[in-house]
Structure 1
Amino acid sequence: MHDIRTIRDDPAAFDAALARRGMDSVSSGLLALDEARRAAIQGAEAALADRNAASKQVGAAKAAGDDAEFERLRALVAAKKDEVARLEDEAREAQAALDAALMELPNLPDADVPDGADEADNVEIHRWGEPPALDFEAREHFEIPAVVPGMDFETAAKMSGSRFVVLRGAVARVHRALAQWMLDVHTGENGLIEHTTPVLVRDDAMTGTDKLPKFGDDSFLTREGYWLIPTSEVTLTYSVAGDVLPEDALPRRMTAHTLCFRSEAGSAGRDTAGMLRQHQFEKVEMVSITHPDRSRAELDRMTGLAQDLLERLSLPYRTVVLCTGDMGFGARRTHDIEVWLPGQGKYREISSCSTTGDFQARRMNARFKPAEGGKPQFVHTLNGSGLAVGRCLIAVLENGQQADGSVDLPSVLHPYLGGATRIAADGALAG
């Protein structure tokens, strides 16, 4: 959410920043609502002062026996009371309209974010590893003989419809091993504090993390009014809502492995085969709550943690900075990490790391108390995938596939698989 004072100070700069995201100028409408709100507040304060002054004079008029003045003052007090109530209502309505308008506006991109219309304009900033040189035709993950017995879309469709999968046997165990390994690295080496959080949240948590009101169609809502989380970014970030943290408590670095749910509204016809784009999936999320001066450095650190996991898994990847036209609603700057998928012959997103600045913090009133004193300031919030477990499973299977239909598994997973090093062509774990 944006600070109306910043817009008031330089409306042209605000409109110019939104224009980079392909939006029309909006500052004039926002400032009109702001002016109406401020005028109503000032009018209510003036009317209240008049009412208080008249109230003090009522007793004096009655004591002096001046009935006419007494009645005039009594009528004035009543009129000013009604005027205060009317102006306060107008101020609340203008504030609500202003807040609603601000809630619909995306974050402003950082100055060094590349301009562009869509993903074709993203800028590569890093690349690691070489795609495997296979001497056979690469298969997509769901076509690999070793995987076919352990990835069941028919049974999932019978239960739940499209965009669901049942994992079983060796494939299910590798999926679980990936999540466990990621958490062990993040908590044991990267200094992230593990959390287990709810997957059902109320409106406030979704609104505070910029998922509502604009993107309600992208998530699932229960009959009881709870939202299924699209990612634990929602729960981890909202854990500091309304808090005033001591500065020395920053940064707060958190991780969680959760189920995630997305309706995939607008993705009809995209990635319908396999488990690349599912309604239900698992992710190990990273969230940082930081001092404003250190949020860019924290973004680079978070990106590095995700990249390191891929390197340990020997998965080729590239990292891109998203352009203004491809960046998410709440982000100031986003680094997407794309892993190589031999079956598709292309890089696909496996992690997205973003800084939102104080955009989310303003929506949920999350602040810190400066060590040197002074009034509380808004924290900066960051989030990133570390990693998407299902997509990581896909990458491991496709990059490890062998000509005989088996899959060689990364060495870091062997201890989590009872020493198994591969999935045989018949779908069983093997040494």
Structure 2
Amino acid sequence: MKEDFLHYVWRYQKFDKNELETSDGASVKTIKTGFAHSNSGPDFQQAKILIDDMEWNGAVEIHIKSSDWNRHHHQTDPNYENVVLHVVWKNDELINHPDGSRIPTVELKDRVNYDLIEKYQKLQSSPDEIPCAGQWTDISDLLKSEMMEKALVERLHQKSEKAKTHFEEGAQNWDQASYFMLLSAMGFKVNQHPFERLAEILPYNLIKKYSSSIFQVEALLFGAAGFLAQDFDDEYPNKLKNEWEFLQHKHKATLGSEMHLHEWRFLRLRPANFPTIRLAELAQILHVFPSLFDAFVIDMNLKAIQKRLKVKVSDYWLDHYQFDKESKFRNKQFGQNSIKTLIVNCIPPLLALYANSVGEERYMDKAITLLNDLKAEKNYITKKFEDLGEDLKTAFDSQAMIQLHNEYCQPKRCLNCSIGLSILKA
């Protein structure tokens, strides 16, 4: 038995309420279950309970065993002084308030239908990555669609939280927030964290000051990223190093401590995905967009953004993947799939953040429209849903399913998912 199941049982009153009594024999009737509360404090707030015909307004706390009250140290926490009902699976210990009065306790272990418990345990013990895979085809398309929309909006807000922090810490600079989201997306998961580190130590305002010069932008990016902390055989990286040392000294009050090479991952990456190439491509992007925020949010035009993201690296990188290591000449630029991934992970979360910040829902609508205008991503998660018969056509579909898989299916949070709830209610 898990507490989240008891939360579900209490919230939806899925137990036998006939002649319900406390451990002291007082009759209990629920007027209002209260509102689920996920922060510190009791599980349900603002409940209304009738105990022996006296109405009590306060909180409801849920536990597997009543003794968990003391084990969790609620007896010394003032947040729990307004608990009017203790709902437990098993009442194994009498619990009192600090003033000595008994906390009304209701035991549910003999009041919950076994079929409901069995359905829940079947989901929780499912060997499938998607616990409801066996029942998936029985779920209505409308219900799936509603859950997908909920998951998608949740994903946008989650991904925008990092940018929100950067926005608030950066004197509410929207270009800085856009820059952070761009660099986070440039990491393409494998190097996401080091790219985010780079955004923190190399502010956008400094990049913008030199954005007309590809050479200086590359010097700033490669220098701050730690790639210029040595001597080179090739002329170009030595010039970058000299420029970086000049700019680093000039702007030492603005720049953070430069990164170290070991923070970047090259292993198992195709050379075209090496962080050195990504930084060279990033330099070009920062050169062609006068204002990231205006391009990504205010004047957002998908075709124009796709065209401008198809940048070509500077000449040195045409026959190099790393400094001092010449390779076969090759034009290096983002492919369509990379551009799509970059847009999906950068622009919709920014639009969601801006919509929430200024209170204009149309920007959230723009985020959803943008995702609907892009083709679905293909990966092992989307394939699992396609194997269940889902036709994922757009990035809206794939992003929603990725969120559903990562935040609900994998941790088996079936009771927080409307699809899982519908299975329990069936």
* Range into which the TM-score falls when normalised by the shorter chain: under 0.3
Which structure shows the higher strand fraction?
1
What TM-score do you get using the length of structure 2 for normalisation?
0.25
Bigger RCO of structures 1 and 2 (CA < 8 A, at least 6 apart): 1
More helix by share: 2
